[in-house]
Structure 1
């Protein structure tokens, strides 16, 4: 079934920060539900091959709909059936994606920017329909690139990430107050360590403030939400009780609802420490996931039908890939500084009612778009020594 090509009006958004805007439209929540629904499947697909993993369900969802936008006939039906889409959901997707990409573009000048960026690569012999090009540019903010050659392959790619970094040195007294640990032990899981060494020493970043936090008995893990300087997104940590507890959390991911989990958290004073990390997972290949779901016609040059994207009859999907990146340093320094007046007096902070959490062994993390609960990034840290 072909998805008709017409452009929804772009949403007009106002306000300096996302949390100051009016409530997100229902279409944004629908995109969130579909996108978040991919998280567990993608995690399990890439988990075994990466000790440190970061990927974006939202970037994957964007590329799937970009693919569907150009498909027709049996190729479109195959994609719809594979992901259980229907006409009603498709009708709202464009305005939902436009909502998020509008926000990413507005905030791209921030010192700590989070976002997702799409790319389409076709060879010069392929002429994309003007309506398809406009749709990709206006809704999905895709950069369309032509390469030399005489083939007919269509490549879709997303780059997703957030950059936090050392900055704001005028807050040096806050840094001193937090007692940054330049070298502290991080305990590796058995699969990541040798028989003679099960710990490494890495810089640990302290976070002190009034944060939303909680505990999940089923997954046996502590949960805490830390704010980035760019308050449109937050960092959600799932820290298992045991060094080997990551496996249990990953097994429970199919039943995990991030918006529901966030609603279970309560605010309290927390002392959190986590390793300073910087890593990239480049060119994650989603083709096996598509094929596992039963999408085959899109990859076949003889039968693929992307007539909504191009008048050429031989256009086919060559690749669907993603590169994601994540760094953390003093990622929530602004929230810490703002939270200091709310903290209890110093002599009370060491009392037993102050919750102390240390991500000093393998843990999961999520970068959350706070207004809707959209998972922008998901990943795990098993050995925080990898750098780009």
Structure 2
């Protein structure tokens, strides 16, 4: 017997300039804490399987709550107990998710895109309850469509990423200070048996010059620098290990730090940063084994799954939860320089200065962060910038 299907997809939305509104509500910070809490676990689960990696804790967290919104009985209880929240916190978290999606929606026409968008595809003979449809469209901005195929089970999928374009062309004279390196060395970590060595390859490097928040984190053993996007709501945090083979050590140490607190601890100073030009997508990351290991089992069982808050169809169950995420690093130079240079006086620009120089010329970690709350929209690592995942 075939089972009803319910397909959820998160696609790109836009995230633009600063918005005129009050400070983020407490519910937005609650969502941040919940979502960011998956970052370390997902990093550790996915790290060994991928040379280059990008994923979205926020997309994953959104899927969990959209799943919970439709769950009832023991299925809902198991999800709540696994992730340690209750019915009272559901309303608060719902408001928090609405806050982020409101911002993504308000800025969707901007040319720089960053964020997530929800889509639900349901088999034609499955009727979603009006209350559930309202939640999906009003809170999670879900586009609900129908499919006529014979898939079985409930599939959740998220697409999250960032797309940027060269902007502010009138500021191009700042490139007098820049030198785009079309062939600079990047040092790969290579392993052979019990020994580790490094291999040099040549890749395009993008320079960033300006006054940025940067510093060194002793706990992680790496340099950290925040770079700016055209979209003022998000920024890019780079964690650059001391050694080419240090990225795995940093991932192991991530539980010791809070990324938002680390970002706040950085201090502004003039810095020159170079990083490789990369563009890649991790398609169809499968979080199903991760959920089952966490203890989510009833939702996957056609005999025990209860999604009666979503539909009166008794045979609705969760088949899989997957994600595709996208990241490109060819975007942030102009805005970064334009933001940084006005802070330097004319005399400083004329004379030779002592500038801190950071080079992501070996494997590093990156985080795309929603600046107002510290929400990690994307996280990932770059080990080989000439390779696609």
Q: Please indicate, yes or no, whether the TM-score normalized by the shorter chain is above 0.5.
A: yes
Partner of 1:93: 93
Query: Are 2:3 and 1:40 equivalent residues in the alignment?
Result: no
Partner of 2:74: 74
Inter-partner Cα distance in structure 2 for 1:196 and 1:262: 31
How far the C-alpha of 1:339 sits from its partner, in A, is: 2.0
Inter-partner Cα distance in structure 1 for 2:149 and 2:263: 49
Question: Which runs of structure 2 are paired with 1:116-131 in the superposition (5 Å)?
Answer: 116-131=116-131
Q: Structure 1 residues 342 and 288, CA, compared in 2 at 3 Å: closer, same or farther?
A: same
How far the C-alpha of 1:278 sits from its partner, in A, is: 0.2
Partner of 1:274: 275
Partner of 2:231: 230
268-277 or 19-28: which moved more? 19-28
How far the C-alpha of 1:153 sits from its partner, in A, is: 1.6
Partner of 1:56: 56
Inter-partner Cα distance in structure 1 for 2:99 and 2:284: 26
Q: Structure 1 residues 222 and 261, CA, compared in 2 at 3 Å: closer, same or farther?
A: same
Question: Which runs of structure 2 are paired with 1:1-388 in the superposition (5 Å)?
Answer: 17-18=17-18, 20-150=20-150, 152-191=152-191, 198-343=199-344, 345-346=348-349, 348-351=351-354, 354-387=355-388
Secondary structure of 1:92's partner? helix
Q: CA RMSD in A?
A: 2.0
Inter-partner Cα distance in structure 1 for 2:360 and 2:197: 22
How far the C-alpha of 1:349 sits from its partner, in A, is: 4.4
Q: Is the 8 A contact 2:164 2:331 kept in 1?
A: yes
TM-score, normalisation: structure 2 = 0.90
Q: Structure 1 residues 361 and 70, CA, compared in 2 at 3 Å: closer, same or farther?
A: same
Inter-partner Cα distance in structure 1 for 2:245 and 2:110: 37
TM-score, normalisation: structure 1 = 0.90
How far the C-alpha of 1:197 sits from its partner, in A, is: 7.3
Q: Deviations over 1:332-377 (max 9, x none)?
A: 41231132132362465442xx211000000000000000000000
Q: Structure 1 residues 151 and 211, CA, compared in 2 at 3 Å: closer, same or farther?
A: closer
Inter-partner Cα distance in structure 1 for 2:206 and 2:99: 33
Q: Is the 8 A contact 2:115 2:162 kept in 1?
A: yes
Q: Structure 1 residues 34 and 228, CA, compared in 2 at 3 Å: closer, same or farther?
A: same
Count how many residue pairs are aligned between Structure 1 and Structure 2: 370
Inter-partner Cα distance in structure 2 for 1:315 and 1:346: 65
Q: Deviations over 1:52-103 (max 9, x none)?
A: 1000000000000000000000000111111111233212011100100011
Q: Is the 8 A contact 1:224 1:236 kept in 2?
A: yes
Partner of 2:8: none
161-170 or 123-132: which moved more? 161-170
Where in structure 2 are there 5+ consecutive unaligned residues? 1-15
Q: Deviations over 1:136-158 (max 9, x none)?
A: 11111122232214555222221
Secondary structure of 1:205's partner? strand
Q: Is the 8 A contact 1:120 1:155 kept in 2?
A: no
Inter-partner Cα distance in structure 2 for 1:131 and 1:18: 33
Secondary structure of 2:23's partner? coil
Where in structure 1 are there 5+ consecutive unaligned residues? 1-15
Q: Structure 1 residues 150 and 200, CA, compared in 2 at 3 Å: closer, same or farther?
A: closer
